[in-house]
């Protein structure tokens, strides 16, 4: 069977010819449509205040998206809160960190960023263990990071600064596609809430959380990334299309448990305990 049409739940690339999907579509002679299934909106000042957390009681903000940065500074403006020059910022990627330049002067001593991985972000936060953190979240969110920071007994206040809602899907007809590429659990939720699961085509997922959400929702997942053989969504779809063209049977993707995660958390706990046992030598009289 030849795949002829794919839906990618992402915005259409500004320059389609430079997208990795372009060469892939040319190779397999298929059509690709782009349509975000979700949109993210900042919470209102009233919603923020209902969480009963004071921004000025914290010394460091933790950001993982541009939307939460926008929402944070908008709320500060509406609430007439002056963010102190001493406020520090930890971001999950350099791109998110650089976005802070829209609101503050970028200084390396105030802004730190990880490499986009969970472990890297946790290790960076642990390095600043004495700070009082406010963790900016987009709802719904994975509890993994808040729970890990709680296990490490750090001073962290998880606060929702944005919410994910379904995009308008009145013009979407899933049955027209051979496979739909999903990038987040929120994509899964938006798709299954708006359409009959039994009538949906097979899907491809990116990330363990998306795969898990798709499986729990009852979707048929036939391609998944990242993995050693498919580090990107494009590669996962390429493998799927090639197998379909060759008539090779494709098993449903399965969730693989991350056995290293708990070991990583234990290592960070041990690191914090060692630091807490370290005492500064008393000065002689």
DSSP 3-state assignment of 159? Answer: strand
- pLDDT score at 278: 57
Nearest C-alpha neighbor of 69 from the set 95, 39, 101, 100: 100
**DSSP E strands, 92-178:** 111-113, 133-139, 156-166
Angle between helices 185-194 and 208-217 (to 10 degrees): 20
88 phi and psi angles, rounded to 5 deg: -105, 160
Task: Give Cα separations from 24 to 65, 199, 206, 209, 235 (angstroms).
Answer: 29, 26, 17, 25, 9
The answer to whether 110 and 88 have CB atoms below 8 angstroms apart is yes
169 phi and psi angles, rounded to 5 deg: -115, 20
Q: Which residues on neighbouring strands pair with residue 203, listed in sequence order?
A: 180, 221
- pLDDT score at 281: 53
Instruction: Name 81's Cβ contacts closer than 8 Å, sequence gap at least 6.
Output: 55, 56, 75
- pLDDT score at 194: 94
Nearest-Å Rg of the Cα atoms of the chain is: 22
> H/E element holding 155?
none
Handedness of CA 38, 44, 48, 51 (dihedral sign): negative
Q: Which residues on neighbouring strands pair with residue 60, listed in sequence order?
A: 88, 133
Instruction: Name 249's Cβ contacts closer than 8 Å, sequence gap at least 6.
Output: none
Mind listing the pLDDT tens digit of every residue in the chain (285 residues)?
889 999 999 999 999 999 999 999 999 999 999 999 999 899 999 999 999 999 999 999 999 999 999 999 999 999 999 999 999 999 999 999 999 999 998 887 799 999 888 889 999 999 999 999 999 999 888 888 999 999 999 999 999 999 998 999 999 999 999 999 999 899 999 999 999 999 999 999 998 889 999 999 999 999 999 888 999 999 999 999 999 999 999 999 988 765 565 666 666 766 666 665 554 555 544
- pLDDT score at 285: 42
Q: What's the predicted TM-score (pTM) here?
A: 0.69
Q: Is 89 exposed, middle or buried (0-12, 13-18, 19+ CB in 10 A)?
A: buried
């Amino acid at each position: 069977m030849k795949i002829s049409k794919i839906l990618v739940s992402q915005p259409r690339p500004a320059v389609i010819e430079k997208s990795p999907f372009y060469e892939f579509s040319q190779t397999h002679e298929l059509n690709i449509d782009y349509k975000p299934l979700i949109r993210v909106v900042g919470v209102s000042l009233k919603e923020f205040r209902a969480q009963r957390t004071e921004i000025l009681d914290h010394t460091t903000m933790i950001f993982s998206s541009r939307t939460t940065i926008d929402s944070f500074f908008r709320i500060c403006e509406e609430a007439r809160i002056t963010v102190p020059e001493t406020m520090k910022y930890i971001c999950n990627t350099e791109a998110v960190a650089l976005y802070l330049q829209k609101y503050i002067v970028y200084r390396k001593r105030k802004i730190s960023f990880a490499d986009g991985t969970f472990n890297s972000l946790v290790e960076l936060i642990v390095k600043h263990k004495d700070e009082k953190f406010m963790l900016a979240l987009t709802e719904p969110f994975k509890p993994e990071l808040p729970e890990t920071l709680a296990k490490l007994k750090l001073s962290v206040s998880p606060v929702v600064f944005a919410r994910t809602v379904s995009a308008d899907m009145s013009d979407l007809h899933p049955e027209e596609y051979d496979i739909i590429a999903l990038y987040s659990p929120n994509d899964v939720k938006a798709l299954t809430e708006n359409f009959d699961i039994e009538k949906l085509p097979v899907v491809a997922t990116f990330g363990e959380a998306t795969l898990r959400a798709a499986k729990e929702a009852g979707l048929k997942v036939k391609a998944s990334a990242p993995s050693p053989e498919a580090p990107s969504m494009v590669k996962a779809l390429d493998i799927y299309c090639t197998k379909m063209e060759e008539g090779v049977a494709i098993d449903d993707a399965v969730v693989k448990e991350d056995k290293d995660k708990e070991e990583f958390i234990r290592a960070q706990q041990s690191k914090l305990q060692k630091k807490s046992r370290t005492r500064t030598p008393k000065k002689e009289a």
